[in-house]
Structure 1
Amino acid sequence: MVGLRMYPECNVHCSPVAAAPGSTQGNPMKVAIMQPYLLPYIGYFQLINAVDLFVVYDNIKYTKSGWFNRNRFLLNGSDAYFTVPLQKDSDSLDVVQRQIAPTFDQSKFVNQLSEAYRKAPHYEQGLSLLKASLLSGESNLFKFIKHSIQSVATRLGIPTPIVESSSIDIDHGLKSQDKVLAICRALGATEYVNAIGGIDLYSADAFRECGLELRFIKSRPIEYVQFKQAFVPWLSIVDVVMFNEIDRVRSMLDRYEMISGKTAAEA
């Protein structure tokens, strides 16, 4: 492993910059980093589509309150949760160390989700997506989730490479903003894009000291007909695909605005 070095005016020790998959060193490059979520809402895919390289955390602690193995779908006109059961294990394990319960049946899971949308206008399209995303045969939680994310991104025509955080040569003991900065510098990023929910977690000043621009992606309102009931927003991407032609779903990937990160004076 190559040694760590300090970048000018940057207080984060990073490995020497490496070319990211599909990139050309010296060119501007946008990077995003997220936890692995199971069939997340469309904003997650807007973020993947908005950057040149997407990093998904595999060496991050699993939390029951997160979205690792659950999400929301439409059931009888209201939102409900679907969950992938996990094998009992230590709460201190990273998501990549967690296993799906041996009793979990992927085919039955697909049937459970698809049955709720049996009368949706694009049911066959949605069913095809579910099968491609969920019938992977994977028993490792992270691999199962990453496969589903990659499958959906492919169906939506998103070309952004997706890499695992553990594959990047940094000090993985770093936390929060320092870890994000180290990953960005190791990949040669020029801009870091985060979901809008993290706008108060990061300092634009710290990113600029490391030669990076900090931006946040904010989804614009997206609404469509869900049968003949009141619209329930921000459900799993499954809901969007069940009710909209795939070309319309692709057009939704651009319905967002970019917001600059806050400086110390603005915080």
Structure 2
Amino acid sequence: MREKVGIMQPYFFPYIGYWQLINAVDRYVIRNDVNFIKGGWIHRNKILINGEGHFINLPLRKASSNKYINEIEILNDASNINKILRKIESAYRKAPYYQDVFPVLEKIITQDEENLAKYLQYLIKEICRYLSIETKIYVASEIEMTPGLKGQDRVIDICKILQAELYINAIGGKELYSHEEFNNQGMQLRFLKTSDIMYHQAKDEFVPNLSIIDVMMFNEQKKIKEMLNKYELVE
């Protein structure tokens, strides 16, 4: 059986487009074996505070772009974790789905895990469970890939191992991949472009591209499931 495959590094409560990609494929690979990006979204995201997007940050120990994501450790002490929870609580305690969502977030954020990659892997699986996403999830470091491959060649190798017929990537990576190279391997290449998604927040003016936390706080699960299909696949 040929499969639809998606591959991406893990992020800290990423925006809805990330979950659209997971939902759009049969098999999703978490790239925990790539370099950590300082100043990126791997350990932080934005939530709505007083009508504006504000960062929540997962504190890290000696983070470096010279390390892989699965080599980074979290400063997972009660003080740091409680700061994140209190910030979320303060921002969303009046949101319509706070009572349903906050326990889910609390379970994720307070997990007893200091390895960043494993922490985010658990986060991804728990949010998928809440959103009823049934895609099979793999971890790149546990897949026996051809050694020495990088970039597109490594992605193609993973796709071949997972018997992909179609590889779907986020639209932001469009310049990184070649249709010809995928076609040569008997696979199609498409890019997921998220449609404009709006919903009622606490203020009249909508603030886009916030963490999935914001989507979950202001929308019932059935509505979010509909949002997961609001995208197009482009060449």
TM-score (norm 1): 0.84
Q: Helix, strand or coil for the counterpart of 1:248?
A: helix
Instruction: Encode CA deviations 1:29-84: one digit per residue, 9 max, x unaligned.
Output: 00000011010001100000000000001111111122110011111110111111
Q: Helix, strand or coil for the counterpart of 2:36?
A: coil
1:132 and 1:148 in contact (8 A); partners too: no
Q: Following the alignment from structure 1 to structure 2, what is the Cα–Cα distance between the partners of residues 102 and 227?
A: 31
Counterpart among 41, 45, 53 of residue 67 in structure 1? 41
Question: Letter of the aligned partner of 1:196 in structure 2?
Answer: I
Counterpart among 20, 30, 33 of residue 4 in structure 2? 30
Aligned-pair Cα RMSD in Å:
1.4
1:87 and 1:102 in contact (8 A); partners too: no
Counterpart among 175, 178, 202 of residue 200 in structure 1? 175
Q: Helix, strand or coil for the counterpart of 1:199?
A: helix
What does 1:115-194 correspond to in 2, within 5 Å?
A: 115-194=90-169
Quote how far apart the aligned CAs of 1:108 are: 3.7
Quote how far apart the aligned CAs of 1:228 are: 2.5
Q: Following the alignment from structure 1 to structure 2, what is the Cα–Cα distance between the partners of residues 208 and 65?
A: 35
Q: Name 1:224's counterpart in structure 2.
A: 199
Q: Helix, strand or coil for the counterpart of 1:74?
A: strand
Quote how far apart the aligned CAs of 1:122 are: 1.4
Instruction: Encode CA deviations 1:98-133: one digit per residue, 9 max, x unaligned.
Output: 101254543442222121111111111221231232
Q: Name 2:14's counterpart in structure 1.
A: 40
Q: Following the alignment from structure 1 to structure 2, what is the Cα–Cα distance between the partners of residues 116 and 89?
A: 28
TM-score (norm 2): 0.95
Q: Following the alignment from structure 1 to structure 2, what is the Cα–Cα distance between the partners of residues 89 and 257?
A: 36
Q: Following the alignment from structure 1 to structure 2, what is the Cα–Cα distance between the partners of residues 230 and 237?
A: 18
Q: Helix, strand or coil for the counterpart of 1:170?
A: coil
Matched, 1:98 2:72: yes
In structure 1, runs of 5+ residues without a counterpart are 1-26, 261-267
Which structure has more helix as a fraction of its residues?
2
1:28 and 1:190 in contact (8 A); partners too: yes
Matched, 1:53 2:27: yes
Q: Following the alignment from structure 1 to structure 2, what is the Cα–Cα distance between the partners of residues 172 and 130?
A: 37
Counterpart among 204, 207, 214 of residue 189 in structure 2? 214
1:40 and 1:71 in contact (8 A); partners too: yes
Q: Name 1:251's counterpart in structure 2.
A: 226
Q: Following the alignment from structure 2 to structure 1, what is the Cα–Cα distance between the partners of residues 82 and 113?
A: 12
Identity across the alignment (%): 42
Question: Letter of the aligned partner of 1:128 in structure 2?
Answer: P
Question: Letter of the aligned partner of 1:52 in structure 2?
Answer: D
Higher Cα Rg: structure 1 or 2? Answer: 1
